[in-house]
Amino acid sequence: MSQSRTYQVRTYGCQMNVHDSERLSGLLEDAGYARAAEDTTADIVVFNTCAVRENADNRLYGNLGHLRPVKDANPGMQIAVGGCLAQKDRGEIVRRAPWVDVVFGTHNIGSLPTLLERARVQREAQVEIAESLEHFPSTLPSRRESAYAAWVSISVGCNNTCTFCIVPALRGKEQDRRPGDVLAEVRALVDEGVSEITLLGQNVNAYGSGFGDRQAFSKLLRACGEIEGLERVRFTSPHPRDFTDDVIEAMAETPNVMPQLHMPLQSGSSKVLKDMRRSYRQERFLGIVEKVRAAMPEAAITTDIIVGFPGETEEDFAETLHVVREARFAMAFTFQYSKRPGTPAATMDGQVPPEVVKDRYQRLVDLQDQISWEENQKLVGREVELLVAEGEGKKDGEHHRLSGRAPDNRLVHFAVGDGDRPRPGDTVTVGVTYAAPHHLVADSGIRELRRTRAGDAWAARNGAPVRADKPEVLLGMPRVGAPAEQPAAVGGCCDA
């Protein structure tokens, strides 16, 4: 195979798919492919699909249709489809789109290079769907998108039976990695310059059930706290059923575990939660929120909410609004319920009319936006330390700003002066000057810049000077008080 053959991976869906795509890229580069430059036609196009939303199929087949004339005009081009939708549809993909060369599932992503070569030699489509995991994703080669932040998968699969979710059928039963393997990967990433890791699992805090240790997750968090050079630890997504006090204690007592929690609510109605087969009720969820806030008053809590689940009444929806008001989420990812073929909810009685779902959805978004804005306004005038990010602010160039994430994961766009310019992976301390529902702005200048090994790793990857001849730390910017109130900016996968 020529070294000049190029690839492109298109990713849809959750963080687990993003993590898998990094492995797919690593596998292809290990096999001699090179990433295609932007605005060029790749020799290999890989779709890593999601099956959570109702229109996932239409989106995939629409994109495949757009690629057909491109492939016709480029002999030798190959198209591969993997991920949850491939696991579900299998040979149906090749039947509906016969120009696809390879279909592979969630359990055998390591087979992709072999399947591509086999399809090229045999000149016929290769469909290979494994029924159980062949290689834990983290054991495969990786091409990480970020030099300073990384995903670390601690488990795959899910043992829950939520009636709206098809993921367990496609990802399989939960399988946990041994703690030593997880920590070895984290240490290796830190040695490469990574300063922030996110622990991944379909139900991340159920970790340990596979080897009989109910406190394995809290122990893992504490062990991450002992790794020198690891500055930030996050995790997603926990299930309220498995959220135990030892996890809250570990979060509060481990300095590098960030004061941030993303915990899916799905509905505030205990009746709807029962219909969803979510094994907790409203009181349980709000009790966890109360305990987290008592242990970490500054914690930002975010969530997922589904509106219009079959059988949801106006009273049920009012219960969801009640929880939103009580919990005061920093942000909520809100979804209008959509049928997913193959799930129990798709055939339930009491399907809510679309116009009712749309109305409830808008009312929920309006309420959450108001709460998010009010919570963000509390930070105006305060200093925050940011991990400088890459590609987070779409208008940063226009506004002469960079962007970063605060410890609680809030997005902050900050002004950059004429002095030393921070790199992605460096940290800066800034004063917040303005709040909108979904971001903060810090236009008072950088008060402190700390150059980090993570910033060095970013510079080395991008061919920039690893260290500038400027001082390591810039101090002495004046403090800025809260400005006059400004109008709010208006803006708008269920993980567990």
- The model's pLDDT over 234-281, given as tens digits with 9 standing for 90+, comes to 999 899 999 999 999 999 999 999 999 999 999 999 999 999 999 999
Q: Is 493 annotated as a binding residue?
A: no
pLDDT of amino acid 139: 66
pLDDT of amino acid 467: 60
- Bigger pLDDT: 464 vs 452: 452
Q: Is the pLDDT of residue 226 over 50?
A: yes
Q: Is 494 annotated as a binding residue?
A: no
pLDDT of amino acid 129: 86
Closest CA to 119 of 73, 87, 71: 71
Q: Is the pLDDT of residue 231 over 50?
A: yes
Confirm if 323 and 286 have CB atoms less than 8 A apart: yes
Least confident of 35-49, 219-233, 285-299, 430-444: 35-49
Q: Is 165 annotated as a binding residue?
A: yes
Tens digits of residue pLDDT in 318-362: 999 999 999 999 999 999 998 887 889 999 999 999 999 999 999
| Average pLDDT rounded to a whole number, residues 440-445 | 94
| Domains of the chain by start residue, with CATH | 6-128 (3.40.50.12160), 137-377 (3.80.30.20), 382-462 (2.40.50.140)
Q: 172: pLDDT confidence band, cut at 50, 70 and 90? A: confident
pTM above 0.85, yes or no: no
Q: 168: pLDDT confidence band, cut at 50, 70 and 90? A: confident
CB within 8 Å of 183: residues ≥ 6 apart: 220, 223, 224, 227
Residue-averaged pLDDT of the chain: 88
In this structure, what are the phi and psi dihedrals at residue 198, rounded to the nearest 5 degrees? -120, 120
